Amino acid sequence: MASAPFCPLRPGRTAAHKNGMDVQYFIELFFSGLTRGSIYALIALGYTLVYGIIELINFAHGEIYMLGAFTALLVAGVLGIMGFPAGGILVVAALAAIIWSAAYGFTLEKVAYKPLRGAPRLSPLISAIGMSIFLQNYVLLAQTSEYLPFPRLLPDMEFLDYIDNIMGPSDFLILVCSMLAMVALTLFIRYTKMGKAMRATAQNRKMALLLGINADRIISLTFIVGSALAALGGVLIASHMGQVNFSIGFLAGLKAFTAAVLGGIGSIPGAVVGGLVLGIAESFTTGYISGNYEDALAFALLIFILIFRPDGILGKAKVQKV
């Protein structure tokens, strides 16, 4: 699979810094790790929310993220040709991506997972894999197999010049937006009625049903929230990388899943911690060792965690029953 999912350093600042292993380089790597880590965290939240409620690895979640990036690209392209100002385009494109991705996530659940409630555990997983392949090829056939350029929409942020060697406008935007999204999610889950219902359903679906919670509605809501977060991640990374392709979802999805497992699947702070840890670990590996095995690192990490601590950093151990 041809992929250039995340660039470890911003263009133009690789060669000079790679030689010296100074503090500056270290800090730069740390922040670029933080940037990509927060994207992983945004996607990982979707995995963790869904797993928490219906114990399903939503294999097609990476595709939702890709659809978000694609929708943003298309909307931004149309608005750009019509001649709207750059800042406005970014906001509208991001909103469109979030709305459409949420709709895709909702539809995905209704079509591929809802009919399989109560089926043997592997059935929905196979259905999810099928959906992932389907969505990838849907975009491939409807659009193109090539990398499409994402327009440059970010304004220059002058205040960043003071810390210019550490991050650029897109890194800054990613950190701020993902931070805001995570805070908003935490508040939503903790303090709203729907959030409470989500937590109740995650704890015990049957009991929640008995208490008058519409579990189907809560599951749909979970998919919508998770997809919206993934779409936000998709828009941010597309504007950061400057290109979008139908296959970006597969790798990003797997890595985000790794992050979710690393933090303890089902746990919301776990997904954030896992995402950041994975992002920083990858960034240091690329910066100090070699970029070639960057993807292999994530998979190796995933295998190690699942074998030695399957409940992750913040997860709780569960007893398996017949």
- Residues in contact with other proteins by CB under 8 A are 1, 56-57, 67, 70-71, 73-75, 77-78, 81, 96, 100, 103-104, 107, 111-112, 115-116, 119-127, 129-139, 141-143, 148-149, 250, 254, 257-258, 261, 292-293, 295-296, 299-300, 302-303, 306-307, 310, 320-322
Burial class (CB in 10 A: 0-12, 13-18, 19+), 239: buried
Please say which residue, 121 or 316, places its beta carbon nearer to other proteins. Answer: 121
* Three-class secondary structure of residue 54 per DSSP: helix
The residue behind tokens 């600042």 is 13
User: C-alpha distances in angstroms, 123 versus 113, 119, 128, 245?
Assistant: 9, 6, 9, 29
Structure tokens at 45: 């939240």
User: C-alpha distances in angstroms, 105 versus 187, 218, 254, 291?
Assistant: 22, 13, 17, 33
Please say which residue, 97 or 182, places its beta carbon nearer to other proteins. Answer: 97
Please say which residue, 69 or 273, places its beta carbon nearer to other proteins. Answer: 69
Q: How far is the CB of 130 from other proteins (least distance, A)?
A: 3
Q: How far is the CB of 121 from other proteins (least distance, A)?
A: 5
Q: How far is the CB of 125 from other proteins (least distance, A)?
A: 5
Please say which residue, 111 or 180, places its beta carbon nearer to other proteins. Answer: 111
Residue 170 CA to residue 150 CA, distance in Å, equals 13
Query: Which is it for the CA torsion 197, 201, 204, 207, positive or negative?
Result: positive
Residue 241 CA to residue 202 CA, distance in Å, equals 36
Q: How far is the CB of 182 from other proteins (least distance, A)?
A: 24
Beta strands in the chain (DSSP E): 148-149, 243-244
Please say which residue, 37 or 151, places its beta carbon nearer to other proteins. Answer: 151
Q: How far is the CB of 288 from other proteins (least distance, A)?
A: 17
Q: How far is the CB of 216 from other proteins (least distance, A)?
A: 15
Beta strands in 91-222 (DSSP E): 148-149
Please say which residue, 288 or 293, places its beta carbon nearer to other proteins. Answer: 293
